[in-house]
A and B are shown apart, each in its own frame.
Chain A
Amino acid sequence: MGLPLLDCFLNSNGTALAQGAPLPVRFGAWMWGCGMNPDRWNPTTEGGGYELSVELQALDRELGTGAKLREQVSILSDFDVKLDGRPNFPHTAGLMGTLTGSLPVADYTVPAPTLDTIIAAEIGGLTRFRSLEMSCTGNPNQSYSFESQGVANAPEISPMAMYARVFGPEFADPNAGPFTPDPRLMIRQSVLSVVKDDRDRLLQRVGTHDKQRLEQYFTSVRQLEQQLDILLEGPPDLESCSKAPTPGQETLGTEVGESMSTNLLMADLLSFALACDQTRVFSMMFSDRISGLRQPGSSSQHHQLTHDEPLDPEIGYQPEATEFVFASMEAWADFVERLAATPEGDGTLLDNCLVLGHSDVSLAKVHGITGVPMMIAGSAGGALKPGVHVRGATSPTTRVGLTIQQAMGLNTESWGTRSMEATQPVSEIVA
């Protein structure tokens, strides 16, 4: 269904490698749980050069290139998730509405594929890893990357494990001398071809429900075959590619300092992985939608606080819960800043990325799904204009998802179901 991706952006910035191949464009989602305080988070002015609100002060950073981080990040406020009479399953409805374009009919269910898997279906086949999922929550069982209810992509929770997976012995280091293909890779391919031979016989033995599951299994086998093919081709031919250094000390957990440190370690590894074109799609769960972030020595977690902590009448918000909004925005800024620190072509890696930062709700206290906060960092290889604040005027959040798909080269004209169906991209951020 998609256009050949690379044609869209060929030389749009005048950047291309010596061989004439354009730089890859990558998509990622970065999610934090339990939203923000709308009056304090939404910028008061629109367009480019918007004024940073108090809860967005983390974006007031200068990048290594001398540019401002805020100039790389667009703010999308006042876009809504529309229920159409369906229940507002707390923290699930808003998340699924934004990521899948549809509303769940039962709690904890996934109504449609998430944005990252839609994009991976188009461009994931071009790289060693179809996508990389990460989480700073220490929970190995949960990411927000779903092909369907039963096909959930499990995250990497440990930077060391992520390092081993991407930069372990299999990684063909472009700076490690002449490349000789490992004969074991070909032997591993023969294992997969034996497994594939059983496909037809197996599919005949099962019912329709299981056919779908087995087809998914065989899709995954083919994905690994392709991974081995790419490894046999030798090191990536990208100027900015080098092997990542071993990550520093990790402490997994949901104390806010632990999650922030994991976020930084992961961002570092990811920037190397992207620069070496190991994947073009990623997702990061900074905190659970039921945010378990907490301060050491405190009896309460972020999510509990958003519901339990009284609104301070003097200041009009929940001071303790709001500390976690600040921390989440700092973590988002850390993540984006790291991508901008890797030079690529005439600019930085971030220029060739499109990162959607988003939450599951706006005001968590009431599970608000109007004005769900979203941000886009990077210019997607020149397809997007960064650093703009757009008010959605209560239009559906899916307009952002539609814009993203189009910027990533997908031939999508409308996205979402019922009142969440979007046909108008957010033209203000399109280059």
Chain B
Amino acid sequence: MRKTHLRTTHLSLILGLLLLAVTGCSSGADSSPTEKIDAGPVALRRLTAEQFSRSIRDVLGDHITVPSRIDPDDRRDGLLAVGATFASVTPSGFEKYEAAANVVTEQALDTKHRADLVQCQPASATTSDEECATAFIGRVGRRLFRRSLTGEELDARVAIASAAAKALGDFYGGLEIALASLLVSPDFLFRIEEAEPDRRDPSIMRLTSVAMASRLSYLLWNTTPDDDLIAAGEHGDLVDDALLAEQVERLLSSPKLETGIRSIFSDLYDFKRFDDGLVRKDTALFPVYTQTLVEEAKEQTLRTIVAHLSADKDYRDLFTTTESFLTRRLGVAYRVPVPTPDGWEPYVFSDEARRAGLLSHISFNALYSHPGRSSATLRGKFVREVLLCQDIPTPPANVDFSIVEDITGELRTARERLEAHVTNDACAGCHTLTDPIGLALESFDAIGMLREEENGVPIDTSGDLDGTAYEDATGMGRALRDHPALGPCLVRSLYRYAAGRNEIGGELALLSSLSERFAESAYSVRELMRELVLSDGFRTTSGPRMAEEAGDES
């Protein structure tokens, strides 16, 4: 584990250097993403809670309420997508999956929806009908397992459907049982990514065409592949360059891409904490705060991102844009009028509103704060680690923080308190990285509302981001927008998200070349996705992950 951490720390530095080298020498070596690379290992990917829910609703019907009580997602190296390749299923977790499956099957096959879903009429509704059961289980099972069921898998499920139908005197009751067995199966709960030798060069292991269907679908749509994509997978199309490119075009131009983009940024920014009710604020200090407000704040940011990136606008402009979406409730917190009484309306912040860029949104400022106060350090750490891919070490174990507090004494603003860090050697190393960024955001309180002063002293939001000076949050957003690490960092994050793990040495050249192309495309995230999924980083592997790489010390 520790080795991995150190290695990635160095990698991010090397990555930055490589990028500089590449951009500084554009006529140099051809670094097309199709060049040979040594891709890392694959591992089972447990469906995230979101994937579990989306896949079920896609296959069984939008009317279904999927229980959220399942084994919680595991977040590693900053991504649920990485944790998913380590997560297993605990006893209580399996108990919850089984309970969820029973709740889902009942809704899927209730009297109102069974005809649509089953698509065949049983000879009798009060006993078994193998033909209709076989057709139903085969069709639905293929979507849930993301491949056709084997004869054995199908037969076993038809058998329990028949036995249960007879025992219960209910054909659909039998189907519920068979469906439950699909939903609790490891073939549904885990995505199995299999590899095979590439026929063109057997020394290279490529993802199978069937595995590619799921990989593409969960990356770009964050749900189970549709029938077309599964068919293409089973037909071998997805290991053919031209046919793969065709499918990728289809996926990228589908409205479902918005879901994929949303999921990527939700994961990267740790927005699941909003859903889990973990962004709580003190209601006495922040009377405007409600769970609904912060959930709408999250939605505002995601809508902003999706609209911006779907229109193929420059990724970097997300950090300066004043275009967004608001509800009336959010309008109250932003102190701007929102005419639409219910629901969302597009909104452009004026300069006076001082809300330029994502980092001025309520969502980030509430998420990266404490329940009772803002945190310049948490906010700065987020920008450094998540947006710029720079590592911030953890605080030393034995440290006296008491100077940082004392709001009754001389130190009345966050800046004054944090400057105490910088005069202390043990603290300065990290806090000089995080605090100036966070202090620019001090004009936003712990729920992201504007303020001018703290404890009676005007807030000074000026600072410097790696050589670019600014006066306030808007200026900091501009400095961030132009920071050379911003683009390459998104490339790295997206690669980790797609691969379900951190990059390895053999993939660095690819990342560097993807970063270069990202810049050439005027930072189009859609182009980046296309380049990524067509690259060998996405299509090949060194093989299955070995047990010792799991990083535990036994």
Tell me if chain B binds chain A: yes
A190 contacts B by Cβ under 8 Å: yes
Cβ of B514 under 8 Å from chain A: no
CB pair A147–B177 under 8 Å, yes or no, is: no
On whether the beta carbons of A207 and B43 are closer than 8 Å, the reply is yes
Contact among B167, B181, B282, B402 with A307 in the assembled complex (CB-CB below 8 Å):
B402
Interface string of A142-180 (1 = CB under 8 A from B): 000001111111100000010001000000000000000
A148–B14 alpha-carbon span in the complex (Å): 33
Tell me, yes or no, whether A431 is within 8 Å of chain B by CB: no
Is A21 part of the contact surface with B, judged by Cβ < 8 Å?
no
If A106-B2, A139-B278, A310-B405 touch, whether A191 touches B184 (CB-CB below 8 Å) is yes
Closest to A210 in B: B44
Determine how close the nearest CB of chain A comes to the CB of B77; give it in whole angstroms: 11
If A88-B397, A187-B167, A187-B177 touch, whether A109 touches B1 (CB-CB below 8 Å) is yes
In the complex, what distance in Å separates the CA atom of A297 from the CA atom of B547? 49
The 0/1 profile, CB within 8 Å of A marked 1, for residues 47-79 of chain B is: 000000000000000000000010111100000
B264-283 vs A, CB cutoff 8 Å, 1 = contact: the mask equals 00000000000011101011
Asked whether B282 lies within 8 Å of A90 as measured between CB atoms, the reply is no
Q: Please tell me if B242 contacts chain A, counting CB pairs below 8 Å.
A: no
Interface string of A285-315 (1 = CB under 8 A from B): 0000000101011111100110111110000
**Stretch binding the partner chain, chosen from B186-194, B228-236, B382-390:** B186-194
In the complex, the answer to whether A208 meets B90 with C-beta atoms within 8 Å is no
A63 close to B (CB within 8 Å): no
Among residues of B, the one whose C-beta sits closest to the C-beta of A215 is B88
Please state if A150 and B546 are interface contacts (CB–CB under 8 Å). Answer: no
Contacts of B93 in A (CB 8 A): 154, 220
Chain A residue at minimum C-beta to C-beta distance from B195: A207
Interface of B is mostly: loop
Interface contact B89-A207, CB-CB below 8 Å? no
Residues of B in contact with A, size category: 35 or more
Interface residue B135 (Cβ < 8 Å from any Cβ of A)? no
Considering the chains assembled together, what is the distance between the CA atoms of A300 and B397 in angstroms?
Answer: 20
Using A207-B543, A299-B285 as known contacts, say yes or no to A307 and B401 having CB atoms under 8 A apart: yes
Q: Could you tell me if A150 and B44 are in contact, using CB atoms closer than 8 angstroms?
A: no
Q: Given the complex of chains A and B, what is the CA–CA distance between A372 and B519 in angstroms?
A: 53
B552 and A198 contact, CB distance less than 8 A:
no
Q: When the two chains form their complex, are residues A195 and B91 in contact, meaning their CB atoms are under 8 A apart?
A: no
Q: Which residue on B lies nearest to A297, using beta carbons?
A: B284
Cα distance, A224 to B371, chains bound together (Å): 39
**Cβ contacts A211-231/B at 8 Å (1 or 0 each):** 111101101110110010000
Does B457 touch A at the CB level, under 8 Å? no
Beyond A105-B1, A106-B1, A149-B550, whether A224 also contacts B94 by CB under 8 A is yes
Q: Is B345 an interface residue (CB 8 A)?
A: no
A3 at the interface (CB under 8 A from B): no
- Contact for B282 among A88, A106, A297, CB less than 8 A: A297
B164 within 8 A of A: yes
User: Smallest distance from the beta carbon of A369 to chain B beta carbons, Å?
Assistant: 9
Closest Cβ of chain A to B345, distance in Å, is 32
Which of A105, A191, A311, A365 neighbours the largest number of chain B CB atoms within 10 Å of its CB?
A191
A187, B174: Cα distance in complex, Å: 9
The answer, among A88, A111, A190, A305, for a CB contact under 8 Å with B398, is A88
Complex interface: chain A residues within 8 A of B328 (CB): none
- The answer on a CB contact under 8 Å between A300 and B373 is yes
B553 and A212 contacting across the interface, CB-CB below 8 Å:
no
A150 and B88: CB pair below 8 A? yes
- Is B9's beta carbon under 8 Å from chain A? no
Contact with B along A31-54 (1 / 0, CB 8 A): 000000000000000000000000
Contact residue among B394, B402, B544, B552 (Cβ-Cβ distance under 8 Å from A207): B544
Q: Contacts A187-B167, A220-B91, A304-B370: A198 and B394 contacting too (C-beta < 8 A)?
A: no
Q: Give the residues from 74 to 103 in chain A that come closer than 8 angstroms, CB to CB, to chain B.
A: 87-90, 93, 102
13 further interface pairs, Cβ-Cβ under 8 Å (given A149-B551, A190-B164, A195-B184)? A90-B397, A109-B553, A112-B554, A187-B160, A205-B194, A207-B43, A209-B544, A211-B547, A214-B44, A219-B91, A220-B90, A301-B372, A307-B405
8 closest cross-chain pairs (CB), A and B: A207-B544, A308-B405, A299-B372, A307-B401, A220-B94, A88-B397, A297-B284, A208-B547
Q: List 15 A-B contacts (CB under 8 A).
A: A106-B2, A150-B86, A150-B552, A151-B88, A152-B72, A152-B74, A183-B168, A190-B160, A197-B152, A209-B545, A209-B547, A216-B90, A220-B89, A296-B284, A304-B370
